[in-house]
Structure 1
Amino acid sequence: MSMREINFDGLVGPTHNYSGLAHGNVASMSHEGLVANPREAALQGLEKMKSLMDSGYAQGVLPPQQRPDLGALRELGFAGSDARVLARAADEAPQLLRAVCSASSMWTANAATVTPSVDAPDGRAHFTPANLQSSFHRYLEPTTTGRVLASIFADEARFAHHPALPATPAFSDEGAANHTRLAGEHGEPGVHLYVYGRQAFGGDGVAPRRYPARQTLEASQAVARQHGLGDAQTVFAQQHPEAIDAGVFHNDVIAVGNGPVLLYHEVAFRDEQGTLDALRERMASPLIPVRVPVEAVSLEDAVVSYLFNSQLLTNPDGTMTLVVPGECQEREAVWRCLQDHLLAGHNPISEVVVKDVKQSMRNGGGPACLRLRVALSEAERAAISGRVLLDDALHGELVAWVERHYRDRLAPADLADPALASETLAALDELTGILRLGSVYPFQLG
């Protein structure tokens, strides 16, 4: 079985703006109210995709969500024409308007949790959309996410789709941002590391004090059950409360893994040694932990630079490339760690590639946030529906689409503009044609 990992990046939506909606996300909160550039944001994301595709990595594309979500505003009591609904929301509940305009679906690491067919008892790849119930603006995403994934991975003989978990605090699920699959290579049976911030039922009560813990143990366990994973295939580890209070809202802000390599900060896990021991016990191939001590990179530097929110990619010769955001160059300690600790260390990481995703970074998402990793066999890749695997032609069409439809300036006050809503619907309707997805948006379903 020829398993290959595809990174499905989220296209940044036309309503990309800085509303500071994500409590506990330091970058998001600190840039609240700034003027955003949706066109630049989308083009930066596409440039990263194209660069990785050109380097030989398999690259896919996922569409943005329908925004503004006028249906959500109407459910909350705003009535009348689209223009009237937007005007009332802007006047009476501006934070709600900002929430229903969020382009947060670009961070597809939160879209779902994926189990490759090589690990599943029924031999199918499994998908569970994250309920994202911890914040209203992201809670709006799972229904459309599920439709998009079901459209792309439509072959029921090869792909299994599960409902999002109940949208309650006890089953708060943030998707693959808190999930890492480790194995010697993609085709080898893997071990699934689920990282949670708190327990809803029981536990010893140790939790962060400043910012909320979003992922629950119970949610991670439920997703593993949905996908048929057993005890020998799973490790559940608690995120360190100090990390969450420093702004590490997801595990992928403090650790990243691929193949047998786990790159992590000293303060990533509450029980560091216990987590490593459990992984070693279950993995068929030796675990390669790459630990960054706090003396080398402080928690503050890790959060500001998003060093660990980088993409760790496997090369054909077994070496690995780390794709980091440009902010890593701006922090001396982080850049020195990359050169002296990672590249010069005894580990497979042989190259660091810097990418400019500043528009996304200002909203709290780095390179790893922008992608959902899906390991597929050759037959499964052939069974993908739609036109979502990036090539030169698709990249060119998407760039032209962005340049036709996206604004180059968007302030929070602009979100009430009825023209923006109309522009976005026209853009998304054209996009589903380009990607051959069929009707996946509420306005297309009637």
Structure 2
Amino acid sequence: MTRRAGSADLPLHGGRVPAWLGQRMTRLGAVITQAIVHHYGRDEFLRRLAHPFWFQSFGAVMGMDWHSSGITTSVVGALKRGLTPLAGELGIHVCGGRGRHSRKTPDELAAVGARTGLDGSALARSSRLVAKVDSAAVQDGFDLYLHGFIVTDDGKWVVVQQGMNGRLARRYHWLSEGLESFVEAPHNAIDGKAVGEILNLTDRRAAGSRSSQLELLRDWGPDRIVREYSALGPPPPPSDQQLLPHLIMPEHHDVRPKDVVARRLQGALAAAAEQGPSDFAELMLVPGVGARTVRALALVAEVVHGTPCRFSDPARFSLAHGGKDRHPYSVPLKVYDETIAVMKSAVDKARLGNEEKLGAVRRLDAQARRLERGAAGASVDAFIVEERRLSHSYGGRSVFGLEPAPGAEQAG
């Protein structure tokens, strides 16, 4: 039986992902996926997508607004664009999306079935059931507007869908692994802020209610209703699932020290400084790769290799490639492109049997964890200030345009 992995409050933001970022998200998302599948397999990639903390961190490391619900749309879209050409190689198919794309999901799943031999009709039925459960059986006031269905060649799948309520969003994660019922505790996670009373007919405690509703349809009458109401009794004590971690994504755009586990950041920076020069000899031969790129790679490496407990602070992953809204700083395009080049080179060589480059990325992550306890350095605020000072030299860009050279704003 699947279990909820936690929950999160997600501010709802408008706007679109600019083409210059969307194209890079597509490439980085695809190569991170390839690295995860290479090391851990497709099933593990699905488990990662079903984990709300990892999913938010994944979007943050790709330069999206680290705290926003917009990560859901952009990540699903980037994966669909990036993994579709690799479907034959990876055996992973991304269907659905936002708005009208979500309504095409059954047809896309039927096409996947025709290509792979899977039962497309059964997959489409699962897709419709998931959407119905989260829109009707979980009456929490959020209207669904996004439905992403990711399925592998062996029929395993994950669904990520999202609804909105005013300025809040709730993201729902489903995982087929261990799923025994669509109507009793099926969610791997439900993300979002509680708004008023929620009627969740998928809760195990609602089994009697579901059964009673069916009986009421057959045997409608006031006497029956009174008997059922009297038989409900007090609710049971909280289950373990209700005690799982709760991630609160704040309204503020800027990354603040309280949003980042500083020792983890210091460990990554120390590993980049100490491990990079010694372990990345071949890696550093990629044109343009320097110390700043290695720091970004340390956070990308954690997205590939980190365990679930390490993603409690998604804001930290925005320190790899910044954010399109200039928080914590503009996206450093030169660094971003170098990160993609290094990861692509490492994955391509690993496919040919040369694990050295991809192994170096893995060792960078391991070194960061070893250095966490004793590492020291600049504060989060000081790190961000320095990144902003150097932003122009890194090719910094945001939705507001390219970052000017230091002093240029005052001169103008």
Per the normalisation by structure 2, the TM-score is 0.29
| Structure with larger RCO (C-alpha < 8 A, sep 6+) | 1
Per the normalisation by structure 1, the TM-score is 0.27
Name the structure where helix makes up a greater proportion of residues: 2
Look at both structures and tell me which one has the larger radius of gyration over its CA atoms: 2
